[in-house]
Chain A
Amino acid sequence: MTLSRTHILALLTLYAIILGLRILVEVVGPLGPITGQLLTLLAFYIALGQAFNIFLGMTGYVDFGYVAFMALGMYGMASGVVRAYEAGLPGYYGIVFGLIQTITLTSLLALIVGGIALRLRGAYFAIATISVNEGLRYLVEGLDIWEGSRGLIVSGPLIRLFGSEGFSLLATIISDIMVFSVALLALVISIVFLNTRIGYALKAIREDEDAARVMGVNTTMYKVLAFTTSGILGGLLGAAWSFKVASIYPPDAFNILYTIEAIILVMLGGAGTLAGPIVSGTLYGSLKYFLAGILPGFQLLVFAPILVAVIVVAPEGIVGALRAYIPATRRFIA
């Protein structure tokens, strides 16, 4: 698939519409069923899908521990803010420090796990990643890191640092815009990857890894590159999301639900496609928002069968199916 200017413009327009709506809702209030909460969910799921797509979609390797990156991001940002508060430094120091911690922790995790497990094939990698998630969670609880199972309280220090007015802005519109920036960053990186030799290498790996290796592609390096990029983006997403939670507990931060959602988002939209995450993120986010009112706690019972059905019946996802069956869409959707 070659990306044209039309493809990129169409996507950027969609992104602009969602961001514009979020700001509009902030200024004039909810527009009918479109509320700030709905748009927050959309931004979150688009970002999650777009970030995870760089690894799962482009390499075809499944990371069942993706939430570990988000958790490290949440903890990285929150502990940075708490440390700044305890040291009596101004709030933005905490945010900068939190960002540095997030990027350091997530890239370390990605390099360690990826460096070891990505030398092996998919099955072994999947096994290693499932254990990463549970293992890290129990490390945080076991060694009492970041207050362990008592939970790291974020809202208190945030209110002291930024005032209650500043905190409520930070927890809503500002964190939404941060989430949105992660989505945009992931989109831009995807475009760059797809348009350079990185994209070709990843595609070659996904289609036939042995052949790619024979042709001289350094497969491990490209896999680790995609894994680390996707992991750091996941961490940044967690960091942006951490402003919305009052305190962080290991079972919530490492909740496998986020991994399941990330896999659903990528596969439903179309693995490796550029427009997949925005399609599935909008669909999933809205359904989740409206289902929460009707069937609280039932989302997974609705989405897990959909996931299995997509894999069995239409493994190419919505965008892939559109491109395959309606040729006219190929000009706009990549």
Chain B
Amino acid sequence: MADITSILPYYIISGLLVGSIYGLATIGLTLIFGVLRVVNVGHGAYIMIGMYVTFWLFTLYSLNPFITLIPAFLVGLALGMLLFYVALKRLLRAPELSTLISTFGFGVILEELAKVLWGADYRGFVYSLGSLYFQGIPLPLVRVWPAVIALGLVIALYVLLYRTRLGVAVRAVTQDPEGAMVCGVDVERVYFLTVALGIGLTTASGALLAIYFQQGINPYIGHLYTLRAFVIAVLGGLGSPIGAFIGGLIVGVIEQASVPLFTMLGAPNPFGLSVFLTFTLILVILLLRPQGLLGR
């Protein structure tokens, strides 16, 4: 049995790497919730779509997977616009139940379409760039670069939110939609752009996740990411994009470190237990700090 202290730094680093992408994968959810007060229950479906975009463009046209990030983002923008006009626009003043179910239904439609078009089998590809070495343990570059790009996208979003007029409008609507409207902000346009951008970032994170994991893409892969995104969003405080990124890093580390820990403890299925751990985390946070770790 390996000494846990010697391998722990490695798991923390790989946790931070995957956590950076998890953070990006959650930001769309919290952005949309912050601005529209709508929980996109079908969130994972858009990650799945992003994964398939990368998979198909790489497999069929040998496109560099990192380039597929751009079409994945564009597909997400388009899906976000569609989601807004079909399932959200008319329900913004309806009870919470309506948007919960309509976003859920929209996600199911995407999953079923993916199943009909591409089959329910698991798909994957192999793409390698060599490795960095950390204390003699290899860190594949296909895991390092996606994490760096995810961080870059989060910084870009931060700049957009805090340094542009659109960002000011988005933050104004987040704080007080009516006040923003009085000040001349086109609230519906902000809603529309937020959903498009939020879904775009989510499909982009799907592309990065496909590069990171490369195997096991399937129409229902999103369920696990929905669960993870919810844990992260609740941890960081629903509606706080930066909180989501930090929450992503925390969950990434917890996941990566708990799997070897459960293996050492002799659990029959360490991966299953680590998913269960994230689930209990949601309940514990909701019980103790429903506003999130960083919330006031």
Interchain CB contact under 8 A, A130 and B98: no
Interchain CB contact under 8 A, A312 and B86: yes
From A130, A140, A148, residue with most partner B Cβ within 10 Å = A130
CA distance A325 to B203 in the complex (A): 42
Q: Which of B39, B91, B282 contacts A312 (CB 8 A)?
A: B91
> Residues of A within 8 Å of B, CB-based: how many?
49
In the assembled complex, which residues on chain B have CB atoms less than 8 Å from the CB atom of A131?
A: 227, 230-231, 278-279, 282-283
Closest residue on chain B to residue A208 by CB atoms = B95
> Residues of B within 8 Å of A, CB-based: how many?
53
| Contact flag A143-B39 (CB < 8 Å), given A124-B290, A127-B230 | no
Interchain CB contact under 8 A, A308 and B102: yes
| Contact flag A134-B275 (CB < 8 Å), given A123-B39, A311-B102 | yes
| Contact flag A128-B286 (CB < 8 Å), given A134-B224, A304-B108 | yes
In the assembled complex, which residues on chain B have CB atoms less than 8 Å from the CB atom of A301?
A: 109, 112-113, 116
CA distance A220 to B104 in the complex (A): 25
In the assembled complex, which residues on chain B have CB atoms less than 8 Å from the CB atom of A134?
A: 223-224, 227, 275, 279
CB contacts under 8 Å to A, within B194-233, are 223-224, 226-227, 230-231, 233
In the assembled complex, which residues on chain B have CB atoms less than 8 Å from the CB atom of A149?
A: 269
Interface residue? B152 (CB, 8 A): no
Interchain CB contact under 8 A, A130 and B230: yes
Interchain CB contact under 8 A, B39 and A127: yes
| Contact flag A123-B102 (CB < 8 Å), given A301-B116, A305-B109 | no
Q: Which of A59-67, A72-80, A89-97 contacts B (4 or more CB under 8 A)?
A: A59-67
Please encode chain B, from 256 to 271, with 1 for each CB lying within 8 Å of some chain A CB and 0 for all others. Answer: 0000001000011111
Q: Which of A135, A148, A256, A298 contacts B275 (CB 8 A)?
A: A135
In the assembled complex, which residues on chain A have CB atoms less than 8 Å from the CB atom of B113?
A: 301
CA distance A120 to B39 in the complex (A): 14
Closest residue on chain B to residue A305 by CB atoms = B109
Q: Which of B86, B238, B286 contacts A117 (CB 8 A)?
A: B286
Interchain CB contact under 8 A, B97 and A122: yes
Interchain CB contact under 8 A, B90 and A312: yes
Interchain CB contact under 8 A, A263 and B276: no
Interface residue? B272 (CB, 8 A): yes
Interchain CB contact under 8 A, A123 and B283: no
| Contact flag A132-B105 (CB < 8 Å), given A122-B100, A139-B273, A301-B116 | no
In the assembled complex, which residues on chain B have CB atoms less than 8 Å from the CB atom of A128?
A: 282-283, 286
Interface residue? B33 (CB, 8 A): yes
Q: List 11 A-B contacts (CB under 8 A).
A: A64-B41, A122-B97, A127-B230, A130-B230, A131-B283, A139-B279, A143-B273, A308-B106, A311-B101, A312-B90, A315-B98
B residues with a Cβ closer than 8 A to A are: 33, 37, 39, 41, 86-87, 90-91, 94-98, 100-102, 104-106, 108-109, 112-113, 115-116, 223-224, 226-227, 230-231, 233-234, 238, 262, 267-276, 278-280, 282-283, 286-287, 290
A residues with a Cβ closer than 8 A to B are: 56, 60-62, 64, 112-113, 116-117, 120-124, 126-128, 130-132, 134-136, 138-144, 148-149, 206, 256, 260, 263, 267, 271, 297-298, 300-301, 304-305, 307-308, 311-312, 315
